Amino acid sequence: IALTGGNDCLWRTWGFPDGNILMTGEGHTDWLSGCCFSPSGTQLVTSSADSTVRIWDMSRHGCLLTLRGHSRAARSCCWHSSGHFVASACVDGTSKIWDLTSERCRHTLRGHKESVNSIEFLPFSSTVLTSSADKTLTLWDARTVRRL
Residues 9/25, Cβ–Cβ less than 8 Å: no
Give pLDDT, residue 34: 96
Give pLDDT, residue 100: 97
pLDDT tens digits in sequence order for the chain, 148 residues long: 999 999 999 999 999 999 999 999 999 999 999 999 999 999 999 999 999 999 999 988 799 999 999 999 999 999 999 999 999 999 999 999 999 999 999 999 999 999 999 999 999 999 999 999 999 999 999 999 999 9
Q: What are phi and psi of 63, to 5 degrees?
A: -80, 125
Give pLDDT, residue 61: 76
Rg (CA), the chain: 15
Residues 48/38, Cβ–Cβ less than 8 Å: no
Give pLDDT, residue 60: 83
Residues 115/132, Cβ–Cβ less than 8 Å: yes
Domains of the chain listed by start with CATH number = 31-147 (2.130.10.10)
Strands 52-57 and 137-141: unpaired
Residues 3/10, Cβ–Cβ less than 8 Å: no
